[in-house]
Amino acid sequence: MTDLTKLTLAEARDGLAKGDYTSVELTEAHLKSMDAHRNLNAYITETPEKAMEMAKASDAKRAKGSAGKMEGLPIAVKDLFCTEGVQTTAASHILEGFKPEYESTVTSNLFGNGAVMLGKANLDEFAMGSSNTSSYYGNVVNPWKDKSGKDLVPGGSSGGSAAAVAANMALAATGTDTGGSIRQPASYCGIVGLKPTYGRCSRWGIVAFASSLDQAGPMTKTVRDAAIMLGSMAGHDAKDSTSAPIAVPDFEAALTDDIRGMKIGIPKEYRVDGMPEEISKLWDDGVAMLRDAGAEVVDVTLPHTKYALGTYYIVAPAEASSNLARYDGLRYGQRVMDEGDSLDDMYMKSRAAGFGKEVQRRIMIGTYVLSAGYYDAYYNKALKVRRRIYQDFEGAFGQVDAILTPTAPSAAFAIGENEGDPVKMYLNDVFTVPASLAGLPGLSVPTGLSAEGLPLGLQLIGKPFDEETVLRVGGVLEGAANFTAKPAGQEG
Amino acid sequence: MSYILEGSTGPWEIVVGLEVHCQVISQSKLFSGASTKFGNDPNTNVSLVDAAMPGMLPVVNAECVRQAVKTGLGLKAKINKESVFARKNYFYADLPQGYQISQFDKPIVGEGTIILDMPDGSTKSVGIERLHLEQDAGKSMHDQDPKYSHIDLNRSGVALMEIVSMPDIRSPEEAGAYLTKLRAIVRYLGTCDGNMNEGSMRCDANVSVRRPGEGFGTRCEIKNVNSIRFVMQAIEIEAKRQIEVIEGGGEIQQETRLYDQRLGETRSMRSKEMAHDYRYFPDPDLLPLVFDDAFVSEIEKELPELPDEKKARFMRENGLSAYDAGVLVAEKEKADYYEVVAKGRDGKLAANWVITNLFGALNKAEVGIADSPVTAENLGKLIDLISNDTISGRIAKDVFEIMIETGGDPEKIVEEKGLKQITDTGAIETAIDEVIAANPDKVEEIRGGKDKMLGWFVGQVMKATGGKANPGMVNKLLRDKILS
């Protein structure tokens, strides 16, 4: 019998439909894989009993002749999505033990479509990070190794989701992306990650990091898998005022492999100083693949790109400083107080003990940029630049159908590297942040290996709510790159 | 007359601006579906959003938006078709989100006007700076436990309209008239019940003093005063305190103060240095609040007649004085009552009965118009009985007394008590003849030119008929019999 964990989501879906195996068998195989890879620390909470229950119910449902779009498919859920009755931590000590009484809209959509939850995937604390080292529950280890064999970061913040998919511990996983948290770990772990247009998926029930940027999306083995899963996650939700009241197209139907005559933009501003040769080459190779497939490659300019990272690190912490005010030790989560303490004492002790260093750093940055006398110089100016960045894209999309860039400036780095230098760490997001600020869909597709044998991804950025084009071009890129490398031990 | 406080060094004028929080009448909260019902058990009107559970998002309640627009229209104010919800960040135990969703630089309603009706019948215009929508906080209770405070989140997230006046108010009386008028307007509109004792209308007063004609002085804000009377007291007491400080060589520090009605003083609560930095920024969970002209004109169509228009109509159509009309429109229920009484009747006579007799009696009994024992229909009937000469004005007063006590129908009371006016000439003549026969000397005096004595005869005849004789007829018949 084939190893069921090596299937793609689409293959597993079709196999289930044909009756080649059951959801219970698929789920058991993945639970076994989770046992075998516990050293990667990809999950904060494993939910094997719930998974088996859901799998059995799914098989029963299928037997009765009704099957949803994700029927019986076991997935990992980033531990930023509130899941009813299952601990939801956001990888923070402050939420340890918190079991929501509600199910996030996205997971509710997925489960409604038949998906099976294997567990809650690890992440950077409150999704703040690019290495998954800020998790209170320990860092995640990338299933890929470089030639020295040392442990590498999976990227972040959706590092647990990316590692789980790359190591076949889940057929697919949900991620969230605020400045690159789906795309960058996808690139580091050699999988596909799609950040949809802001407003495509409901944010209701997702622990908020930066409300104007946060967006849920699929992390999968293939572009087709991403199309299938996004179709199940997306949709208008009246409970989220920023969710777009537009219909969900059949994303899978967009995968025609035909991009002849399509125009692909190459933004010169992304060719940053000191870009590693192998990243540059990866990009050039990608351009050639799309050209060979019949697309026209066009140079475009996104002049405000250089301000994107600075803008992001004002807007995101500002919103975070306010979004995280609710973790005060009063109603849920950790409370630290001693006899005779005042309310302020309780706040300070609970938050000092509950939040890790990176979260505290961003709360402080955010509080600072919003404070009286600094608001106009920082936050207000950042909003203006953000508008310009959006206009840059708007201009470019007047000429092209999609934009191709590298996903990240490097391959996965060693755990512990960059830890002492937050700014260097933030540079990991340099190519992903602009699309986040503009609210545009961005897809990372693995297209090559670094000299160290590590996966590297290219990013496709599309027009608002045009995930279909992004997926179509991504499918072509995927086919041309024929990226078949797997982490050691996962070879097919 | 301008209101001046005499200090030891000369006259002082006071400058007041009021910030009034009006709880919006709506079924559910501003950003959640939880009930707004007052008086439910603590923490029973609380949704996941109100408790700020992780991942919860606000969705604006369209009804609250309509109510704010309606109030803006009632204040003759500019309606902003695009406004923005902003977060006001601060930590407190009764603020679960750690921020209040409010409006900052882009409120839903801009500048407007309120016309004050002063006790002397004059009017004064006070500017409205803005009206914005915001969430209420929960309630902290510090008296439930010796060691801990308790929190009730029922009120958390309920919609408030903060209505900010210009610093146009110059006396405690004007402040009182402003609050009375604002309360009347929101009650007429049905956008706030205006009950200050239940906290659904709360007032902060910004008070400063200055020499007449000079620029504004430094102001202090007196927080959360919960009755019109206390607002008036607090303003006067705070103004006097400020005068004393300045005349004593001191300076007023801008600060937040509390009014202690028991001790009759204001106390410092928070100095400017200790003031919060609220770090306002647009709430990224909410899109800008945008609506079109059609939305506003739909609401405009629903607007009831407001106090100012009603007052003008009463003066124009019923010939009432500004004062009487002002008294009648001060409360919608009073105006409605009056209109029933005045319908098809003499408007001025109706106003006299309603204001002098009815309001007088209700005040004495400390009863509101809603609980009046005399219905408007019955008061109208009483006036009809006077107009059609069934009873005299004097008898009517007696009948009214009975109506106040029993709530009875005046026609029945007149019937049962036999109070019908005597208009039968024969019966009156008989009474006159008896009085004339008994007082021949007085008859002679009149005939000798002492006309005034005629009044004495009228009195005697009325007495003899138990007050029921028609006074006009008595007068005429007496003249005929004695002088012809």
* C-alpha separations of B375 from B389, B406, B410 in Å: 22, 11, 11
| Shortest CA gap A107–chain B (Å) | 13
For residues A207-230, average pLDDT:
98
> Which pLDDT does position A419 carry in this prediction?
81
Count the domains in chain B.
3
Is the residue at A313 inside a domain?
Answer: no
CATH number of domain containing B452: 1.10.10.410
Task: Place A427 in a pLDDT band, splitting at 50, 70 and 90.
Answer: confident
Tell me: do B396 and B478 sit in the same domain: no
User: Mean of the pLDDT values across residues A40-56?
Assistant: 98
Model confidence at A325, pLDDT cuts 50, 70, 90, reads very high
Asked if B277 has any chain A CB less than 8 Å from its own CB, the reply is yes
Walk along chain B (484 residues) and give the pLDDT tens digit of each residue: 589 999 999 999 999 999 999 999 999 999 999 999 988 999 999 999 999 999 999 999 999 999 999 999 999 999 999 999 999 999 999 999 999 999 999 999 999 999 998 888 889 999 999 999 999 999 999 898 988 889 999 999 999 999 999 999 999 999 999 999 999 999 999 999 999 988 899 999 999 999 998 999 999 999 989 899 999 999 999 999 999 999 999 999 999 999 999 999 999 987 777 778 999 999 999 999 999 999 999 999 999 999 999 999 999 999 999 999 999 999 999 999 999 999 999 999 999 999 999 999 999 999 999 999 999 999 999 999 998 888 888 889 999 999 999 999 999 998 888 778 777 778 888 888 888 888 888 888 888 888 788 888 888 888 888 888 888 888 888 888 887 7
CATH number where A163 lies: 3.90.1300.10
Q: What is residue B38's predicted lDDT score, i.e. its pLDDT? A: 85
Q: What is the ipTM of this complex?
A: 0.96
Q: What is the mean pLDDT of residues A125-130?
A: 96
* Interface membership of A382 toward B (CB under 8 Å): no
The mean pLDDT of A60-81, rounded to a whole number, is 97
Cβ contact, residue pair B97, A104, below 8 Å: no
Whether residues B225 and B196 fall in one domain:
yes
b/e sequence A392-407, b meaning 16+ C-beta within 10 Å: bbeebbeebbbbbbbb
Judgement on whether residues B467 and B404 belong to the same structural domain of the protein:
no
Structural domain harbouring A179: 4-260+467-481
Helix (H) / strand (E) containing B366: none
The per-residue pLDDT for range A326-383, each reduced to its tens digit, is 999 999 999 999 998 999 999 999 999 999 999 999 999 999 999 999 999 999 999 9
Same domain assignment for residues B55 and B144: yes
Q: Which of B51, B55, B151 faces A206 most closely, judged by CB atoms?
A: B55
Of A98, A322, A343, which is closest to B89 when you measure between CB atoms? Answer: A322
Residue tagged 């084009």 (tokens): A469
Asked if B351 and B433 sit in the same domain, the reply is no
Considering only CB atoms, which chain A residues are within 8 Å of B92? 343
- How many other C-beta atoms are found inside a 10 Å radius of the C-beta of residue A38? 11
Contact A234, A194 (CB under 8 A): no
Q: Does A460 fall in a domain?
A: no
Contact A211 B151 (CB under 8 A): no
Question: Could you tell me the two tokens for A330?
Answer: 């009063």
Q: How many angstroms away from the CA of A396 is the closest CA of chain B?
A: 26
Instruction: Using alpha carbons, list the distances in angstroms from residue A391 to A268, A394, A439, B323, B480.
Output: 16, 5, 12, 61, 102
Q: Residues of B with CB below 8 A from A243's CB?
A: none
B276: left (phi over 0), alpha (psi -120 to 50) or beta: beta
Q: Which residues of chain B make contact with A324, given a CB cutoff of 8 A?
A: 98
How much is the pLDDT for B271?
76
Q: Please, which residues have CB within 8 angstroms of residue B262's CB and are 6 or more apart in sequence?
A: none
Higher pLDDT among residues B422 and A227, named by residue: A227
Indicate whether B168 and B287 sit together in one domain. yes
Distance CA A36, CA A490 (A): 12
Interface of B with A in 82-101 (CB under 8 A): 87, 89, 91-93, 96-99
A347 touches chain B (CB under 8 A): yes
The CA dihedral of A177, A314, A206, A7, to the nearest 10 degrees, is 10
On whether residue A296 sits in a domain, the answer given is: no
Instruction: Give B426: exposed, middle or buried? Use CB within 10 Å, 0-12, 13-18, 19+.
Output: exposed
pLDDT of residue A309: 95
What value does the mean pLDDT of chain A take? 96
Q: Per the structure block, which two tokens stand in for B419?
A: 């109070």
| Contact present, A125 and A359 (Cβ < 8 Å) | yes
Nearest CB to A326: which of B59, B98, B287? B98
Does some domain include residue A400?
no
Final residue before a domain boundary, out of B378, B401, B417: B417
CA distance B17 to B241: 17
d(CA B33, CA B30): 8
Lowest mean pLDDT, pick from A177-186, A189-198, A207-216, B459-468? B459-468
Q: CB–CB of A330 and B151 under 8 A?
A: yes
Pick the residue from chain B with its C-alpha nearest to A126: B54
Q: How far apart are CA B118 and CA B173, in angstroms?
A: 8
Residue A122 in this model has a pLDDT that exceeds 70? yes
Q: Under 8 Å CB-to-CB from A178, ≥6 apart: which residues? A: A127, A157, A209, A210, A213, A214, A215, A316, A436
Query: Same structural domain for residues B138 and B22?
Result: yes
Q: Given the DSSP bridges, would you call strands A263-267 and A402-406 parallel, antiparallel or unpaired? A: parallel
Chain segment A25-43, per-residue pLDDT in tens: 999 999 999 999 999 999 9
Task: Tell me whether residue A148 is in a domain.
Answer: yes
Catalytic residues of A: 78, 157, 181
Whether A362 maps to a domain, the answer reads: no
Asked if B218 contacts B205 with a C-beta cutoff of 8 angstroms, the reply is: no
Residues B22 and B145 in one domain: yes
Range of the domain at B406: 305-417
Among A210, A326, A343, beta carbon nearest to B93: A343
Q: What share of chain B is helix, strand, coil (3-state, %, to 5)?
A: 40, 20, 40
- A238 chain-B contacts, CB cut-off 8 A: 59
Give the distance from residue B281's alpha carbon to the nearest chain A alpha carbon, in angstroms. 7
Q: Which of B392, B417, B442 is the last residue of a domain?
A: B417
pLDDT value for B354 = 96
Please state whether the predicted TM-score (pTM) of the whole model is above 0.95.
no
Query: CB of A381 within 8 A of CB of A439?
Result: no
CA distance A28 to chain B (A): 31
Average pLDDT over residues A80-109: 98
Q: Residue B1: its pLDDT value, please?
A: 54
> Letter for the amino acid at A278?
E
pLDDT at A492: 54
Clarify whether residues B337 and B454 are in a common domain: no
Establish if B151 touches chain A: CB-CB under 8 angstroms: yes
**Interface test with chain B among A101, A204, A314, A322, by most B beta carbons within 10 Å:** A322
Nearest to B279 among A102, A104, A371 (CB): A371
Do B374 and B391 belong together in one domain? yes
Partner B contacted by A372 (CB < 8 A)? yes
* Domain match, B387 and B244 both: no
What is the rounded distance in angstroms from the CA atom of residue A1 to the CA atom of residue A17?
Answer: 17
Query: Do B311 and B257 share a structural domain?
Result: no
Helix (H) / strand (E) containing A175 = strand A172-177
Count of domains for chain A: 1
